Structure 1
Amino acid sequence: MRLVQFQASAAGPRIGLEEKDGGNVIDLNAFDPSLPKTMREFLERGDAALAIAKRAQESGQHILPRSQVTLLAPITKPEKLICVGLNYADHCQEQNVDIPKDPIIFSKFPSCIIGPCDEIIYPPESSEVDWEVELAFVIGKKGKHIQESAAMDHVVGFTVAHDVTARDWQLKNGAQWLLAKTFDTFCPLGPAIVTKDAVSDPHKLGICCKVNGELVQNSNTSQLIFKTPALVAWLSRFITLSPGDVILTGTPPGVGFSRKPPVFLKKGDVVHCEIDELGAIRNKVV
């Protein structure tokens, strides 16, 4: 299933299912008015909510034409928005650094999340804004001290993320990683949370980024050093993972600041981030 948040009128956000990538949307709130209207609350209801969504998918009812729907970020206001650094073997080679022995963890604030077609605001505080396409996974079941063998039981699905980064701030005064990563609009997500049963293998997917149509990142999630089960087990040693938490798994090579000379985004640029089977997000810089 392709779980989405959407808006079709002035009534506010609702939850639904994309019939296919870019297809019509099934209105889950119309199918069952008892369902919440935010994805985080939906996921907190666990398997029971997913079962209702499955029945809605099979019913063929409450289908909205895509032309009447505006997709929002598939989840907003998660409890945690966690990121992993230097997690692609080919990206480590690009940076000329050793492969980490343990996952490198940092975070973004949930307030920086925007939708799959929303605009990225270029902050006046930076002049070196960079792109980073990433595979993200979403937690569907609460857990702490999760064994790697059981980790996927706690994952509901996967989505496309863009970890926009202000490089001048990332390297300022030693390392202002949080500030560099969490300017408003610096985390486009979407277009959907694709449930794990609908993904052939999340660690064998093509992943790419284009800027103004030019291919700048092109790799495969097989290059991930710490894959989803390892990350769930590692993170849950330190923190309780909750339904709706979003984890960005790192970016492949091809980022702007690693180019010679470095290249950064500018106002007017359009960034297209895409992952096989999950879909694409397309955001203009303004």
Structure 2
Amino acid sequence: MKHARVIFEGREHTGTSHEFDGRPDAAVQLDDGRVVPQEQLVWLPPLAPTARPRTILALGLNYADHAKELEFKAPEEPLVFVKGQSALIGHRQHTRRPAGVQFMHYECELAIVVGKTARNVKRDDAYDFIGGYTVANDYAIRDYLENWYRPNLRVKNRDTCTPLGPWFVDAADIADPMALALRTTVNGTVTQEGNTRDMIFDAPFLIEYFSRFMTLSPGDLILTGTPDGVVDCKPGDVVVTEIEGIGALVNTIAAA
């Protein structure tokens, strides 16, 4: 099932995906039973209030083609950085591009949502600890980059720079999260395509890897990296990051 968190008529609601005007996922059936088209809602990151992420872990260079695109050797172990919750915004929201920036790009990423407390999890058991998935667009501002292997906070932890959503999809509804097509469009033009099968470090590996040395808690997020095909995004650009079976996350770039 696809779940959402939205604001309608000044009140926060949870809801589920609903067909509208013959279009799947075009509306949300709210917790009070009303069906409301997407355009009439204010969207929040699709995380339950009782399971907000304590930790947001993000992977860099987790697709070999993206590492090659940036002229770097693929890493031999996960390249990871930590993000704060203030970076997260919802579907159909605006991301601010700082004035004077020369290169700011999207990153379409499968986001793993931890379902239960995980410590020392074995790879073969890893999927038991995944609650579900959503789409992340983890923008990067390359002007501020100090080192490709150490992205600093101004590159990767800016307010509004990690849209998430629209839906949280139950893990049971995704038959194989390691075989999902990813696609990004900018103003309707396809600029990025890939597949989660091309990850260097897949979902089971990451659950096992992180849980060896830290506790993963319900609601924690793991952003799993992006394939190649990134382009600079300017104010006014509409960026859609889409993952097969999970949803299409719409975001608009605004001038800061």
TM-score, reference length from structure 1:
0.80
- The CA distance in 1 between the partners of 2:28 and 2:59, in whole Å, is 32
Match of 1:280 among 221, 232, 248: 248
Q: What residue number does 1:187 align with?
A: 162
Equivalents in 1 of 2:176, 2:147: separation in Å? 38
The 2-side partners of 1:268 and 1:111 are apart by 22
**Could you tell me how far 1:96 is from its partner in structure 2?**
3.5
CA contact (8 A) 1:161 1:190 kept: yes
Q: 8 Å contact 1:163–1:181 — kept in the other structure?
A: yes
2:132/2:168 contact within 8 Å kept? yes
Q: Which amino acid aligns with 2:58?
A: C
| Alignment-derived partner of residue 125 in structure 2 | 150
Residues 24 and 174 of structure 1: CA distance in aligned 2, closer, same or farther (over 3 Å): closer
Q: 1:160: how far off?
A: 0.7
Q: Give 1:100-249 correspondences, 5 Å limit.
A: 100-124=75-99, 126-171=101-146, 175-249=150-224
Q: Which has the higher strand share?
A: 2
- The alpha carbon displacement at 1:125 in A equals 6.6
* Structure 1 unmatched ranges of 5 or more: 31-61, 257-263
Deviation at 1:200, TM superposition (A): 2.6
Distance across 2 between alignment mates of 1:158 and 1:245? 11
What per-residue deviation string (whole Å, max 9, x for no partner) do you get for residues 102-132 of structure 1? 1111122110101111001112373321111
Identity of aligned residues (%): 36
Tell me the TM-score normalised to structure 2 length: 0.88
The CA distance in 2 between the partners of 1:66 and 1:173, in whole Å, is 41
* Partner residue of 1:25 out of 19, 25, 28: 28
Q: Would you say how many aligned residue pairs link Structure 1 and Structure 2?
A: 246
Q: Which amino acid aligns with 1:144?
A: R
Q: Give the equivalent residue in structure 1 for 2:43.
A: 71
- What stretches of structure 2 of length at least 5 have no aligned partner? none
Q: Distance in 1 between matches of 2:151 and 2:71?
A: 21
> What CA RMSD, in Å, does the superposition of the two structures yield over aligned residues?
2.1
Is the Cα–Cα contact under 8 Å of residues 22 and 66 in structure 1 kept in the other structure? no
Q: Which residue, out of 221, 233, 238, partners 1:270?
A: 238
Greater relative contact order, per chain length (Cα 8 Å cut-off, separation 6+): 2
Cα distance in structure 1, aligned partners of 2:145 and 2:126: 31
2:4 is matched with 4
Going from structure 1 to structure 2, the CA distance change for 1:174 and 1:252 (only over 3 Å counts) comes to: closer
CA contact (8 A) 1:106 1:178 kept: no
CA contact (8 A) 2:238 2:250 kept: yes
Larger Rg: 1
Greater per-residue helix proportion? 1
Give the match's secondary structure for 1:14.
Answer: strand
**Aligned AA (1:66):** P
